[in-house]
Structure 1
Amino acid sequence: MRTKPSPLPQFTRTLIAAACALGCFSATAASIVVTSRDAPGVGFNDPTPVEPVGGNMGTTLGQQRMNVYRHVADIWEANLDSPVTITVSAAWEALTCTESSATLGSASAWNIWHDFPNSKPGTWYPQALANKLAGTNLSASTPDDGSGFGNVDIKTQFNVNLGNPGCLTGNRFYLGLDGNAGSNVNFVATLLHELGHGLGFAATGVNSSTGQRINSAGTAWSDTGLPGVWEAYMYDNSTQKRWLDMTPAERKASAINPLKLAWTGTNAVTGATLLKPLSVVKTATPVPGGAGSYDFNPSPFGRAIVTPSTLGALAVIAAQPGEAGPGCDPFNAANRAAVLGKVPVISRGGCTFALKVKNAQDAGAVGALLANNAAGALVPGGSDATVTIPSAGITMADGVALKAAVAAALPYGTRGKPGVVTATMAADPARVAGADSYGRPLLYTPNPLVGGSSVSHWDVTASPNLLMEPSINSDLTKTLVPPKDLTVPLLKDLGW
């Protein structure tokens, strides 16, 4: 076993023979063991008394945290089979956070392997999956490196300070098992998601920012490194190539090619029939040939968008002196007049999506469209129970087009009544939300790259929302298979 330089995690490889071939053992439910590395009084050992919540009957904060881990591990055990115990090293640590943002936590495969029994030759695998395929614990003979997690399958860490003053103050992990998190962070869904990464839902062995792969020794990124098991199923519709067959430069470009990178594994493609027709904003305008259709993703706050339905006449707001971003301050008289009874198109940036929509609502708007400030789809996040109007996210390009359409329509009105662009919400039955034209689910490839998120998640355009999107949405369930989710089908494509 070798320890690798940053940013590489710890990786190993082996050529030792497994006790038997894959066909030598029958499928068996997985067993997951969670081991705490927290110090006394911290994390899982926190003795702070708490009341039972949402089916979690722990009486201390530490007990409730471990109860969630065990609950989530049980869900994963029921969805996987492996003859080898899956090991998870878990801790609660002081991660980066401020009053307005925080690192919730993370999980990853701590060791990866290549060229073991029943593997594809010259291909990196995460350890839990490698152990399952080999039928033996590949790190069993490797002593721990002193860290306490040097030979485990998955390493996790979550922010012990979340909700404390200065760390998303008041916005804590919800430790109930029933999903009723409200404005807090649903820890069950978050942990289900992160353990999914540790089990293999990640582009193992490839650097999406450079397109390079880890070399066979596991010591550095290289133009000639070994591919990960993911790469055979990643297909770019622009180049018509799998990542397996690309150069590093081509992989780097594909990672920021929005809505073009599809997953081709049979199980996930078959399961993708759960995805709904794509939701679109359709516009009517007096400008000849000016009508259009624009993809949207609904916000998780405010009144739900019904399709088909009329949203209203579109409006544009002007920049206000001193504001952090468009729509971040209460609207001035001019902007109030512009949006009264209408639907402003507001660009992203400077403050939360919910605040922008609340300010529009307070000014008399009947809805809002939130335009991205970078390439790619936008799914607004956040919450505000006082927001009652509907809103949705659109791409930066569509935001520019809609603002231009509003301006172009003005001369086409009557005396004293400028021309307007009217928006309706509809579904496009010819297209699937979160899939390409062949029905293959799309991976998340925004431009610019989002480190730690790009490529290793489903795209945010998927509807219904999927567990392994880059955000934890409020409507997620604990079901990991169709007709609710595509997490397990993708893992089955890898060999689980």
Structure 2
Amino acid sequence: MHTLRAAAAAALLGCAGLGAALAAVPIVIINGNGPGVGFNDPTPATPVGGNSGTTLGQQRLIAFTYAANIWGSQLTSSVPVRILASFEPLPCTVNSGVLGSAGAWDVFSDFPGAPKPNTWYPAALANKLHGADLSAPSDPHIGATFNSRLGLASDCLPGAGFYLGLDGNFGNGTDFVTVLLHEMGHGLGFQTFTDETSGDYYAGTPSIWDHYLLDNRLEHEWVEMTAGQRAASAISSDGLSWNGPLVTAAVPGVLDPVSRLAIAGPAAGPAAHDYEVGDASFGPPLANPPLLGQVMPVVDQTDGRGLACNPLSPLNALAVNGNVALVDRGSCTFVLKARNVQDAGAIAMIVVDNAPGPVTGLGGADPAITIPSVRVSQADGNDIRAQLQRRSRTRSGVTASLGVNPAKLAGADAQKRILMYAPNPVEPGSSVSHYSTAAKPNQLMEPAINGDLTHDVAPPRDLTLPLLKDIGW
């Protein structure tokens, strides 16, 4: 048997066990915080959303136990899973921040009961397969850290901290239970130990992940490829799929048809074609028959862009009324933009990204939004905008058709295998070890927490559990 430490070591501060979650897999939460901070923070808190804690530390622990119970009820193992958890200051700005991180503490290979030889398994899964604890009694199986400053500091997403309720009613906050489920998923095995940049195996040995990660252009799994081929596969955009049988069988019942924006009309010129779009977590989803309308830009900036962060001026309201509003990302939430153009009479909204990169969705929640919204890349948005220069006050001659392509599933390849996250350049810690952001509905194990996620980890809503079962759970 071989074992290696796979996660960075953390100081064990006040490492008394906080108890085990009651489930098919007992999950023992180990407090990695010192007195007065993290799980021990004595700041008074009002019970919220089914969380009865009366201090910040208590509420954090109750939410953690709740999430652990969800995972524990879905899995089976005779060996309790120990999670060393703590709250620490993590990188953060006023607009973005790291919510948390987690991963396997150790990896093991060639242990009695290992299904595949010469293959790394994360500690919790290795213990399940072996039927006994392979780790030292004082070692955790999963290490997890969460941002202690989120929403509580003026320079760390102020006003958008963790929502510690258990009911999913997070409003403008970040649902902590969802973050916990995501990070625990990584620790349970939703990760590769192979280097995403070089393609080199960890200590010369592939991980169980690599047996199911497939380059869909070569139709080869990572264990069949060279390091250079793996490195190229990791930046292939839509060239990387999951080839596990349980996930693939569940994909058609979970993923929706891909959304489609088609631009046409007498003034569309070279912009007349289909576009890849990111879906909104608010408003109605796209459907067939498609919604049709003239595209009209909001212009409220001196450079010709339109942010729509304030109620629209009379001229902009006249332009978008009964039409599809084209606005730019930036300065305010997507929900506020949608509300402003909807109030002005727009029938849909297209958001143009403000930086190059792959298309992702539009986050946020507001039940009052009744119009569909999509996001396009900066380059695509600029191509569409270029054709709107010769327009009247109410018509552009450029039409948008917003619907779905029933022949293709959002976030899946042509064989209906779910795509993995493979942006170019590599995003260390995110690339390869997440589902594609193109999946619809958004999946728990995408690289960002989206506002439409629930606490489900299994079909028909989510594909995380089938993947863990593919690798041995």
Tell me the TM-score range normalised by the shorter chain.
0.7 to 0.9
Residues 274-313 of structure 1 aligned to structure 2 (within 5 Å): 274=253, 275-286=255-266, 291-301=272-282, 305=286, 307-313=288-294
Tell me which residue corresponds to 2:98: 103
**Superposition RMSD on alpha carbons, in Å?**
3.4
1:139 maps to a residue whose letter is: S
Tell me which residue corresponds to 2:398: 421
Are the equivalent residues in 1 in contact too, given 2:7–2:106 (CA < 8 A)? no
Choose the corresponding residue for 2:64, options 47, 59, 69: 69
Whether 2:471 is the aligned partner of 1:482: answer no
Tell me which residue corresponds to 1:79: 74
Structure 1 61/452 Cα, relative in aligned 2: closer, same or farther at 3 Å?
same
SS at match of 2:241: strand
1:236-284 deviations in whole A, cap 9, x for unaligned? 2223322222222222222221222111100000111221211212333
Tell me which residue corresponds to 2:39: 44
Structure 1 length as normaliser, TM-score?
0.81
1:114 maps to a residue whose letter is: S
Are the equivalent residues in 1 in contact too, given 2:162–2:175 (CA < 8 A)? yes
Structure 2: 5+ residue runs without aligned partners?
Answer: 11-22
Are the equivalent residues in 2 in contact too, given 1:377–1:446 (CA < 8 A)? no
SS at match of 1:227: coil
* Distance across 2 between alignment mates of 1:293 and 1:354: 25
Tell me which residue corresponds to 2:134: 138
Whether 2:20 is the aligned partner of 1:54: answer no
Structure 1 112/360 Cα, relative in aligned 2: closer, same or farther at 3 Å?
same
Structure 2 length as normaliser, TM-score?
0.84
Structure 1 193/242 Cα, relative in aligned 2: closer, same or farther at 3 Å?
same
SS at match of 1:196: helix
Choose the corresponding residue for 1:171, options 160, 170, 186: 160
* Distance across 2 between alignment mates of 1:3 and 1:133: 17
Structure 1 194/311 Cα, relative in aligned 2: closer, same or farther at 3 Å?
farther
1:244 maps to a residue whose letter is: V
Tell me which residue corresponds to 2:184: 195
The percent of aligned pairs where both chains have the same amino acid is 43
Residues 192-341 of structure 1 aligned to structure 2 (within 5 Å): 192-203=181-192, 205-215=193-203, 225-274=204-253, 275-286=255-266, 291-301=272-282, 305=286, 307-316=288-297, 320-321=301-302, 327=307
1:97 maps to a residue whose letter is: C
Tell me which residue corresponds to 1:122: 118
2:407 maps to a residue whose letter is: A
Are the equivalent residues in 2 in contact too, given 1:345–1:402 (CA < 8 A)? no
Tell me which residue corresponds to 2:13: none
Choose the corresponding residue for 2:169, options 142, 165, 180: 180
* Distance across 2 between alignment mates of 1:127 and 1:8: 11
1:200-244 deviations in whole A, cap 9, x for unaligned? 1112x11212222222xxxxxxxxx22111111111222332222
2:261 maps to a residue whose letter is: V
SS at match of 1:52: coil
Quote how far apart the aligned CAs of 1:189 are.
0.9
* Distance across 2 between alignment mates of 1:281 and 1:106: 35
Quote how far apart the aligned CAs of 1:472 are.
1.9
SS at match of 1:235: strand
Tell me which residue corresponds to 2:146: 158
Quote how far apart the aligned CAs of 1:338 are.
6.4
Tell me which residue corresponds to 1:147: none
Structure 1: 5+ residue runs without aligned partners?
Answer: 12-27, 145-150, 216-224
* Number of corresponding residues: 454
